[in-house]
Amino acid sequence: CSDDYEDDEEDINNYYNNNEDDFADSEEEDGDSTSNNNDIKTSNNNDINQSGIIMTSKLEHFSSKTMTVSETNEFLWKDCDKASVVLSITPAMSRLVLQASKWKLAVIKTRLYKTNKPNFLESGLQNATNSKSIEKVKSSRPKVCGVCLETLHRSKLLALNCGHQFCDGCWKQHMVFAVKDGMSQGIPCMEPECTLLCHPDFVKQFYPVNQDSPLETAYKTHLFRISVSSHYQLRFCPGVDCTSVIYGEKPKPRKVQCLTCKTAFCFECGTPPHIPTNCETIKKWLTKCADDSETANYISANTKDCPKCHICIEKNGGCNHIKCSKCSHNFCWMCLGDWKNHGNSYYECSRYKENPRIASKNSQTQAREALKKYLFYFQRWENHDRSLHLEAQARSRIQTQIEEKVNSNQGTWIDWQYLLRAGELLAQCRYTLQYTYPLVYYAETGPEKALFEYQQAQLEVEIEGLAWKLEHAGEYQRGDIENQMDVAEKRRQTLLARFVTV
């Protein structure tokens, strides 16, 4: 078993044209076996690496490869071929087995050796019944197609491994409609409660003779979608109109970048890269920022209901004497009691501590605190986002400034490149800093959080220092700026090294 597994590993390495020593454990290639894959674009995302100053960390991204649709298809069929040898079934049938096990061939093998039974049941290749009862199903059924109810010659009836026979016309219609409806996880058998799925070879016999029929094209598109989305090493690029597929050898929640459209995303969850915050937290944070739950929070923190007509009232001045604009009820904002009883003894209302209405103030205070905390982090998050946009514009200004300087003979183009690199580094650091806020917001109070906040503050100081020096580049020496870049990046690395665990 272990031998086979190693084979598999090697195959993956063969396929993956490793040009960086990003993974110490992946072996170097001899080159000849990968010649056919050399055109596939590989990346480990250290696009700033050329600068020589910045070390990209293994913590942030991992090696990935951008593949086209046809390259991906070739890759998938290769896996099917391998699985078909292991399982002794056709490659098309093994495709269903692979889809059901996230394309982890090693898992399929282990299961096969351990239990001597492949997972045909979950894959939709076989029913729980044994082959004898399938024969029984076949012979017991009348020569009638269960869908169109026409009596037919038995040779015209077709069935999957379950033995549920239907005529070819009905099968074809079924496939056309199933494909039209989007074919969620595959085309099911037409028998009620039958769990079998039509494998690609079975579908193939219903394509018309002429090539590229709508059925064939649509079926292949859907099959491709199902395969890629079930594959543990493959992701569709989330970029707009981009058809590329990203291959990650050892999937992790890390940044990958599509080399076709340059979109960067988290391999695990598909959202923009969010290190050091994890996928779950960033999802929670983004939902929180997007939905209006905070509106409700605001209402509970800044409004009270009129004690008489229960309309929601927002206090817009300092006076605690409130007159409801709907029912004209006069009441006290502090104790919600009738204003009539207050008269001259206004401060009396704070005496009724045991009053249940005062108790409700407690939850109000809590809501206000929660809102304050959220707004604190959200404002920082938003502010860095805005800064990132502004600094992106600044980078294009730097570009023009460099051109001007070169044209007026102040040094050569290469002399000024450090400014651009500083701009890119600034963006990188600020991006990381932005994504530390959701983490802190959800972190539990304790020494761990205190340490994180300390390092976050350190990073923030250096980032703002760099931003200042870059904005006033004329007043600083190149050495100053490069030193600041180095410090900022080191701070960032320290923070990531300590808090990225997965």
Partner 1 sequence: MSSIAATRVQRELKDINSEECSGQNIRIELMNDQFEHLKGEIIGPPGTPYQGGKFKLSIHIPETYPFNPPKVKFETKIWHPNISSVTGAICLDILKDQWAAALTLRTVLLSLQALLSAAEPDDPQDAVVAKQYKDNNSLFYKTAKFWAQIYAEAPGPTDTDCMDKLKKVTEMGFYRDPSLRALSSNSWNLADALDNIG
The residue within the footprint of partner 1, chosen from 60, 191, 268, 391 (CB under 8 A), is 191
Nearer to partner 1, 146 or 238 (CB): 146
Nearer to partner 1, 146 or 307 (CB): 146
Work out whether 182 is an interface residue with partner 1 (CB under 8 A): no
**Where in 459-498 is the site for partner 1 (CB under 8 A)?**
none
Residue with tokens 């604009």: 325
Contacts of 160 (CB under 8 A, 6+ apart): 189, 196, 198, 199, 202
The residue within the footprint of partner 1, chosen from 82, 95, 174, 492 (CB under 8 A), is 174
To partner 1, the closest distance from the beta carbon of 184 in angstroms equals 8
Q: Could you give the string, one character per residue 216-235, with x where binding to partner 1 holds by CB under 8 A and - elsewhere?
A: --------------------
Sign for the CA dihedral angle at 127, 131, 132, 134 comes to positive
Work out whether 195 is an interface residue with partner 1 (CB under 8 A): no
Phi, psi of 136 (to 5 degrees): -65, -45
Cis peptide before 276 (omega within 30 of 0): yes
To partner 1, the closest distance from the beta carbon of 191 in angstroms equals 5
Work out whether 189 is an interface residue with partner 1 (CB under 8 A): yes
To partner 1, the closest distance from the beta carbon of 104 in angstroms equals 27
To partner 1, the closest distance from the beta carbon of 177 in angstroms equals 4
Work out whether 173 is an interface residue with partner 1 (CB under 8 A): yes
Under a CB-based contact definition with an 8 Å cutoff, are residues 251 and 64 in contact? no
Closest CA to 301 of 380, 375, 351: 375
Measured CA to CA, the distance from residue 415 to residue 477 in angstroms comes to 12
Q: What is the dihedral of CA 49, 50, 51, 55, to 10 degrees?
A: 20
Stretch that binds partner 1, among 89-97, 190-198, 215-223, 259-267 (CB under 8 A): 190-198
Residue with tokens 């898992």: 107
**Where in 112-171 is the site for partner 1 (CB under 8 A)?**
146-150, 164, 166, 169-170
Work out whether 435 is an interface residue with partner 1 (CB under 8 A): no
Nearer to partner 1, 175 or 334 (CB): 175
Instruction: Count CB-CB contacts under 10 A for residue 272.
Output: 15
> For residue 474, what are its two tokens?
């004329």
Nearer to partner 1, 171 or 285 (CB): 171
**Run of H or E residues at 303:** strand 303-305
Nearer to partner 1, 128 or 240 (CB): 128
Q: Could you give the string, one character per residue 262-301, with x where binding to partner 1 holds by CB under 8 A and - elsewhere?
A: ----------------------------------------
Nearer to partner 1, 147 or 420 (CB): 147
Under a CB-based contact definition with an 8 Å cutoff, are residues 426 and 470 in contact? yes
Closest CA to 90 of 56, 130, 120: 120
Measured CA to CA, the distance from residue 418 to residue 481 in angstroms comes to 8
Q: Which of 319, 324, 335, 349 is the catalytic position?
A: 319
To partner 1, the closest distance from the beta carbon of 377 in angstroms equals 36
Which ranges of 41-183 does DSSP label H, i.e. alpha helix? 69-87, 91-100, 105-115, 120-123, 131-140, 168-180
Work out whether 178 is an interface residue with partner 1 (CB under 8 A): yes
Under a CB-based contact definition with an 8 Å cutoff, are residues 124 and 186 in contact? yes
To partner 1, the closest distance from the beta carbon of 152 in angstroms equals 13
Phi, psi of 331 (to 5 degrees): -145, 170
**Is 319 an active-site residue?**
yes
To partner 1, the closest distance from the beta carbon of 169 in angstroms equals 8
The residue within the footprint of partner 1, chosen from 113, 177, 454, 468 (CB under 8 A), is 177
How many residues touch partner 1 under the rule CB under 8 A: the total is 21
Query: Which residues form the catalytic set?
Result: 319
* Binding footprint of partner 1 on the chain (CB under 8 A): 146-150, 164, 166, 169-170, 173-174, 177-178, 181, 188-194
